[in-house]
Chain A
């Protein structure tokens, strides 16, 4: 085996000594050693001129980086509610049992670790897991059984059956965006021919708004960035796709990558950027190789690099940066921090990235789908785009449909489509509720299925999770509140503490110990989080609780105990350790339940 210094030293030679590369270097070291050994930290510290303690805080921030060795096979089961509904936990337990391993703890021989991770974006083909960073989809008993054999035999995953790693696009409905392809280079060609001012006008006329969630007008964002005077401008594509239940960017990056890069290049031409980044979530590592190839093909074709399409001074290139398992890095300012190699802690806004983003230079951050739409608009024009959708929400939207339906997958609809229509098309019957826009989104009951997907009614980043009448919605609420607790970056108290309190109270309801007083506490805490959290994560984290408290009160009230107060934990049980240590069992060694 290589000695740690060699691998890390070589890496430093190849990647250079810029402190901004820290996270990228750590990702590679993690992949190579299954953890970041102390040697590597020392070496990085010396060469990048970053104190070791700072490097350790970065490692500890990202879920996919570890300071202690993981197993040679490092397995993380995707734990979104949709994976739960498909039985991920019983598969995890059976895998652990067969391998003789405790969840989260490496097996004594160092062969394997098994744990959980947040939504991996394979909801339509779950349950899924990551093994050494690669996705295994469509888990079932048989697949688990085969995995055990491969792991015990020590067969590297490159030699595992290819079928394990297949992830289909699974496009169920195509509209404007997915059915009208463009020839590589045609959008930038249109810009070069028409001029960037005209193209920006066209984009403005199309009414395109961001597809990542907030729905800011794309042309306005690009114009503000262009007009911000600075040495450098940057384009960033947000491919963090962390919103539970969302997987449409995965499909765009797999089958429409060239168009994503085309959109970024158009943006670069307009705002005057020389450099762009694709920030790819760690879960999508399996897409990277193909993406790099697409980038190379574009360079070879003169669509990236120096003097693009022969235009003097139109220089632009794109670098892929990997994330490492942090949902918060989808928030644009946290993403930029992460691009700079740091922990993904959201910045104060304003200033917004359009004036002060990457390296404090004006930066456009857009969602993957936004860039695809922008490239199409550059070729087909504003009217083509506007002809679909509503006045306020022009064009189409990709929905990631999962949960209880016959045909999960990607559905592209003109904005304004009703929830009922989507449910009908995907073969959902007996639906109790739809969770739209991920864990922080809205829980929609049957009586609201007439409502529309649109910025003016129900906005969404694209997640559409379906729950039938047999489901217990509190399972969903619990899954989401644990998700937010786990993903809170910990920077501000309302989210770090409030999120934990909320999680504990949901758990208390779940086990049947909560009172109506606890429900009131949940409302209070939720309101504080909404009002005072530093960023969107904490401000929206209480949504699933507050929404279901209002629209599905039954899932709570049916579990309440009819008392004015119940302790948060089992008092007598918490003396068990002491009883055991002292050998006492007298009356004073017990706490009776108070009526």
Chain B
């Protein structure tokens, strides 16, 4: 339905939401899916653009972009910039996007050390060599949280944020209300 048709039919246009997983474990996306049957309600309010769920490869103009994972390689930077340029509201989702998280544990070591450990000295490695195919994105020397690369509007903490956190965040945001979490959703120990 075009916006014109929407207006005529008396419906408000659905918000467009895109999601991407950068250097994360997909746990945040899995947690989003943990909203279970509420996803049916959600798709009444929103329409998914590029996400790993829709398999749309290029992000279009969106209202909300959800980013899981930190920035670890050149492709992550490219995807993240594309999201920033196309999404009105960009959200860092989960510890990896917010802080670098688990992947950033490699920041304690030199990149060279890490690569050698995996591709040269690792147990059972045959024909040891560090891959240099141009199809493979180059790694940044450190893993960064996404707000160090683009401007970020919201941060959803958690590893992963729980399904209820996603639900509360999205429904509040879509309703145009101030986002407020009960303590239980942002309490971690």
A residues neighboring B (CB under 8 Å): 517, 564-565, 567-569, 571, 574-579, 581-584, 586, 588-591, 594
CB distance from B137 to the nearest CB of A (A): 7
Query: Are B148 and A569 in contact, CB atoms less than 8 angstroms apart?
Result: yes
The answer for the CA separation of A581 and B132 in the assembled complex, in Å, is 8
Residues of B near A591 (CB, < 8 A) are 74, 77-78
Shortest A348–chain B CB gap in Å is 18
Question: Are the CB atoms of A578 and B140 closer together than 8 Å?
Answer: yes
How far apart sit A575 and B111, CA to CA, in the bound complex (Å)?
A: 10
Contact call A568/B144, Cβ cutoff below 8 A: yes
A586 touches B112 (CB 8 A): no
**Inter-chain contact B148/A575, CB cutoff 8 Å:** no
Q: What residues of chain A lie closer than 8 Å to B148, measured between beta carbons? A: 567-569
CB distance from B149 to the nearest CB of A (A): 5
Residue B40 interfacial (CB < 8 Å)? no
Near A by CB (< 8 A), chain B positions 99-120 give 110-112, 115
* CA–CA, A589 and B133, complex, Å: 11
B141 at the interface (CB under 8 A from A): yes
Nearest CB of chain B from residue A70's CB, rounded to whole Å: 23
Chain A residues positioned under 8 Å from B110 (CB to CB): 577
**B interface SS class:** mixed
Contact A581 B77, beta carbon cutoff 8 Å: no
Given contacts A571-B77, A581-B112, A582-B130, contact A589 B144 (CB under 8 A): no
With A517-B151, A567-B148 given, is the CB distance from A582 to B132 under 8 Å? Answer: yes
8 contacts between A and B (CB under 8 A): A565-B150, A568-B148, A577-B110, A578-B138, A583-B132, A584-B132, A589-B74, A594-B81
Neighbour of B74 across the interface among A569, A575, A581, A583, CB < 8 A:
A575
Closest to A515 in B: B151
* Interface contacts beyond A517-B151, A571-B77, A583-B132: sample of 11 additional A-B pairs, CB < 8 Å, sorted by A: A567-B149, A568-B144, A574-B140, A575-B139, A576-B141, A581-B112, A582-B131, A584-B134, A586-B134, A589-B138, A594-B81
CB distance from B113 to the nearest CB of A (A): 11
Contact of B142 among A574, A579, A581, A594 (CB under 8 A): A574
Q: Are A581 and B111 in contact (CB under 8 A)?
A: yes
Using Cβ atoms and an 8 Å threshold, which residues of chain B touch A574? Answer: 140-142
Q: Which residues of B contact A575 (CB under 8 A)?
A: 74, 138-141
| Cross-chain contact A588 with B134 (CB below 8 angstroms) | yes
The residue in chain B whose Cβ has the minimal distance to the Cβ of A580 is B112
The smallest C-beta distance from A367 to any residue of chain B, in angstroms, reads 38
4 A-B pairs with the lowest CB-CB distances in the bound complex, closest first: A582-B132, A568-B148, A578-B138, A565-B151
> Taking CB as reference atom, which chain B residue is nearest A594?
B81
Chain A residues whose CB sits within 8 angstroms of the CB of B111 once the complex forms: 577-578, 581
* Bound Cα distance A586, B130 (Å): 17
Query: Shortest distance in angstroms between B54's beta carbon and chain A's nearest beta carbon?
Result: 26
* Bound CA–CA A578/B134 (angstroms): 12
Q: What is the minimal beta-carbon distance from B108 to any residue of chain A, in angstroms? A: 15
> With A and B bound together, what is the CA distance between A588 and B111 in angstroms?
18
Given A589-B74, A591-B77, A581 and B141 contact (CB-CB distance below 8 Å):
no
| Shortest beta-carbon distance from A53 to chain B in Å | 19
| Contact residues, B58-94 vs A (CB, 8 A) | 74, 77-78, 81
Nearest residue (CB) in A for B115 is A581
Q: Which residues of B contact A576 (CB under 8 A)?
A: 141
- Residue of A with least CB distance to B145: A568
Are B151 and A578 in contact, with the CB atoms below 8 A? no
